[in-house]
Amino acid sequence: MELSKRQETILEIVKKEGPITGEQIAERLGLTRATLRPDMAILTMSGLLEARPRVGYFYSGKKPGREMAEKLHQTLISDIKSVPVVVPEQCTVYDAVVTMFIEDVGTMFVVREGGLLEGVISRKDLLKTTLGGQDIHNLPVGVIMTRMPNVVYVESDASVWEAARRLIAHEVDALPVVRQVKGNDGRIDLEVVGRFSKTNVTRLFVELGEGGY
């Protein structure tokens, strides 16, 4: 994070004289509080300064970006997950291509009855199959999907940081968000309850940058 000269000056004033009010800072710089408001917002949002009612601003001692890192660890997948796009295992490759186009996603989750996770199919999988000259009108996605237990997933109580780390480590653009359910046979299955993608991460960064989180 790169600070402007005025923001650096504000930071030095608060380091030396904090806690200090916004009005006092404005007086030191010969400016109005309204003029300083955007700078103070940036410095507090980044975590470099902290503010307390009736006390003023003081230096937090944190490095730039530390506040955002903490929020990525604190924010849970349940807070930002989106609605999953799912298809049944018997769905044909042709119908999967149409669904992917209509829903405008790069990854879909393949489920069996009850929304239980069976596999994942990506844009690359569909493109490779389509270009391979196979009969996509009759070929089920179950033949070409990545099957469990090779599917990377995340649970709702995981942190955004952990989920983003999995996206990068496994070079995928979306993860199914799941919860464990116990079947009649005692086996633990995974029910798809959401979707976490690169878009979710990007949206979160924008909201953090705007101070919306």
What tens digit of pLDDT does each residue of 102-157 get? Answer: 999 999 999 999 999 999 999 999 999 999 888 999 999 999 999 999 999 999 99
Helix (H) or strand (E) holding 27: helix 22-29
Determine the Cα–Cα distance for residues 7 and 62; give it in Å rounded to an integer.
Answer: 15
Domain 5-59 matching CATH 1.10.10.10: the answer reads yes
User: Does residue 85 contact residue 109 with C-beta atoms inside 8 Å?
Assistant: yes
Instruction: Give the CATH class of 72-210.
Output: alpha beta
CA angle 104, 107, 108 (to 5 degrees): 95
Q: 67-81, 102-116, 154-168: lowest mean pLDDT where?
A: 67-81
The full set of domain ranges for the chain reads 5-59, 72-210
Phi, psi at residue 158, to the nearest 5°? -80, 160
- State mean pLDDT over 54-73: 74
